[in-house]
Structures are given as C-alpha cells and as structure tokens.
C-alpha cells in the first residue's frame, strides 16, 4: 500500500505578499486609469479642423532658422489635438466688427465665411497700424481652440498678434489673453511670451483651455509682407455650443 499523499499547508511568505501588492499597484496605477481614459476617450474627438490648400511649397527665401523667438516652419503637419465631443467652429458665419469703420479691401464677414483658401480676394484687408477684429459667438461657450489665418499666400510674419476672449463686448472686463507675441509692448497689453510665426495654410492654432466666453478679439499690427495692411483670411473658434 502506498502512503497517502499528505496535503501541505499553504505558507504565507514575504515574497508572496510583495507580489500581490505589486499586482494590485499595477492594477491601481496602470490598468484602472487606462480603463478610465478609454471611457473618457469616448468623449474626445480630433479637432474638426479642415485645412486649406497650401499656397506655397517649401520655406521662404531667407527664413530664420531655429530661433527661440520665431517658430520655424515645420516640414511635418501639425498634430491634431483632441477636443470634447460636440466641438464645432462656433465662429462660422458669426458677425464680426473691427476697430475701423471701413476696411481697406473686402468685407469683415469674410473672416467667418468659411473660405480660408489662399486665393485672390479671400481675405479682408484692414488699414495700417494696430487694428482689431472681434467675433460675436452669440452666446458664451467653453472654448477649446482659436485658429487664425491672417494671410497665407506667401510666408509672412504678422506683428503683435494678440488674441483675447471676454464676455464683455467692449473688452474692458473679464478679459483673458490667449496669445500675445508682442515683444516690446507696442500693442499695450504687456510683453507677450508667445513666439512670432510664419503664416502657412495650417493657420495659428491657439489653445483656449476651456475658458468660457462669447467674444473673441484679435489684434495685429501689419506684417513683413511689404505693405502696412492687416489681413484676415479666416478665424475659427472651437468649442462646445452652450445648451
């Protein structure tokens, strides 16, 4: 007769305890957040931005190389950021006003008409010196991004680009500055920390970080184009419409 096999009692070792703790930690720190993120991802979509055709290939004749103050032209397309589901261009067809009564050429409604191609006559031209345009979104909404195309028929740099949002149409109260690349405070909003940039078909995408506002105001003071005019092809303001 063979001896019956004796069942060994389970031993609780230190190593076993550590392994369990590690597994638990991995679950808590990695797996659980991933599951949560996946759930959140369902509410995130790529920014529904449609870029116009590139009007010029390559870089300008004498582009500044990498500099901490002027953003170089990138050969790669800009990554598309994720935004909340339901994000739309709130500025489309919305009314626009400006710092001057008369434009130099074109009409202000061109800024929100949806035509951002770099073709003749697709941009409005404002008179020289510091000028602004202001878009009324109709209602305050949490904003994710503002994208501005000043003029992208050829590579130019616009000066003193300042973008602000507010719920006050006069921009006296509750003003949030989203972007300011005025290096010498010539626009009067303080020295900006943002970089100058070359205009391209990608426009300038400016994060609004969820700030809730109804009005968007954009300043500029001429460009390197060779004349003193301020130009706007299109401005898009992304956010989820208020219910």
Partner 1 sequence: MNQRLVRGLWLVLLAALALGLRLPRLAERPLHGDESVHCQKLWTLYSEHRYEYDPHEYHGPTLYYATLPIFWLRQPASYAATREVDYRLAPVVFGVVLVLLPALLVDGLGWPAALAAGLLTALSPALVYYSRYYIQETLFACFTLALIGAGWRYQRTARPGWLVAAGCAAGLMLATKETCLASFAALGLAAVAWRGRPAEPRLPGLWDVRRLAAAGCVALVTAAVLLSGFFTHPAGALGYLQTFTPWLERAGGTNLHRHEWSYYLSLLAWTHRSRGPVFTEALVLGLAGVGALGALRPAWLPRGASRRLVGVLALYTVLLTAIYSAIPYKTPWCVLTFLDGFVLLAGVGAAALVERAPGRLGRVAVVALLLAGCWHLGRLAWRASTDYATDARNPYAYAHTGPDVFDIEQRVNELLALDPRLVVKVVWTDDYYWPLPWYLRRVPDGRVGYYNQLPTDPLAPVVLAAATYTEAIERRLGATHEHTGTYGLRRKVPCELWVEKGLWERYMARRR
Backbone dihedral angles phi then psi of residue 73, each to the nearest 5 degrees = -70, 130
Q: Does 128 bind partner 1 (CB under 8 A)?
A: yes
Residues in the chain: 243
Task: 169-173: list long-range contacts, CB under 8 Å, 24+ apart.
Answer: 169/134, 169/136, 169/214, 169/215, 171/134, 171/215, 171/217
Closest CB 118 distance from partner 1, rounded Å: 11
Part in contact with partner 1 (CB under 8 A); list of ranges 25-33, 45-53, 134-142, 185-193: 185-193
Q: Does 105 bind partner 1 (CB under 8 A)?
A: yes
Which residue, 122 or 144, is less far from partner 1 as judged by CB? Answer: 122
- Asked if residues 160 and 187 have their Cβ atoms less than 8 Å apart, the reply is yes
Among 7, 12, 50, 68, binds partner 1 (CB under 8 A): 68
Closest CB 70 distance from partner 1, rounded Å: 6
Which residue, 179 or 238, is less far from partner 1 as judged by CB? Answer: 179
Q: Does 104 bind partner 1 (CB under 8 A)?
A: yes
Among 3, 66, 172, 173, binds partner 1 (CB under 8 A): 66
Give 183's contacts (C-beta < 8 A, 6+ positions apart): 69, 191, 192, 196
Which residue, 155 or 239, is less far from partner 1 as judged by CB? Answer: 155
How far apart (Å, rounded) are the C-alpha atoms in residues 240 and 141? Answer: 6
Burial (Cβ within 10 Å: 0-12, 13-18, ≥19) of residue 37: exposed
Closest CB 76 distance from partner 1, rounded Å: 19
Q: Does 224 bind partner 1 (CB under 8 A)?
A: yes
Closest CB 126 distance from partner 1, rounded Å: 13
Part in contact with partner 1 (CB under 8 A); list of ranges 16-24, 91-99, 150-158, 235-243: 150-158
Give 37's contacts (C-beta < 8 A, 6+ positions apart): none
Which residue, 73 or 211, is less far from partner 1 as judged by CB? Answer: 73
Q: Does 102 bind partner 1 (CB under 8 A)?
A: no
Chain residues binding partner 1 by CB under 8 A are: 60-70, 104-106, 120-121, 125, 128, 154-157, 159, 183-186, 190-191, 196, 222-229
């Amino acid at each position: 007769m063979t001896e019956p096999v004796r069942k060994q009692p389970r031993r609780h070792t230190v190593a076993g305890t550590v392994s369990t703790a590690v597994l638990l930690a991995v679950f808590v720190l990695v797996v659980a957040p991933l599951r949560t993120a996946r759930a959140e991802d369902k509410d995130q979509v790529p920014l529904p931005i449609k870029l116009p055709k590139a009007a010029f290939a390559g870089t300008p004749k004498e582009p500044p190389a990498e500099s901490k103050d002027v953003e170089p032209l990138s050969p790669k397309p800009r990554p598309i950021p994720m935004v909340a589901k339901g994000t739309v261009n709130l500025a489309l067809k919305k009314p626009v006003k400006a710092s001057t009564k008369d434009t130099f050429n074109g009409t202000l409604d061109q800024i929100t008409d949806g035509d951002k191609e770099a073709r003749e006559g697709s941009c409005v031209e404002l008179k020289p010196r510091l000028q602004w345009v202001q878009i009324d979104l109709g209602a305050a909404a949490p904003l994710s991004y503002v994208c501005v195309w000043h003029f992208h028929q050829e590579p130019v740099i616009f000066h003193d680009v300042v973008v602000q949002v507010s719920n006050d149409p006069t921009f006296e109260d509750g003003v949030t500055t989203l972007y300011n690349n005025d290096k010498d405070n010539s626009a009067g909003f303080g020295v900006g920390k943002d970089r100058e940039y070359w205009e391209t078909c990608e426009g300038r995408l400016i994060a609004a970080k969820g700030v809730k506002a109804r009005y968007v105001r954009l300043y500029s003071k001429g460009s390197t184009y060779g004349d003193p005019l301020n130009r706007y092809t299109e401005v898009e303001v992304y956010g989820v419409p208020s219910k």
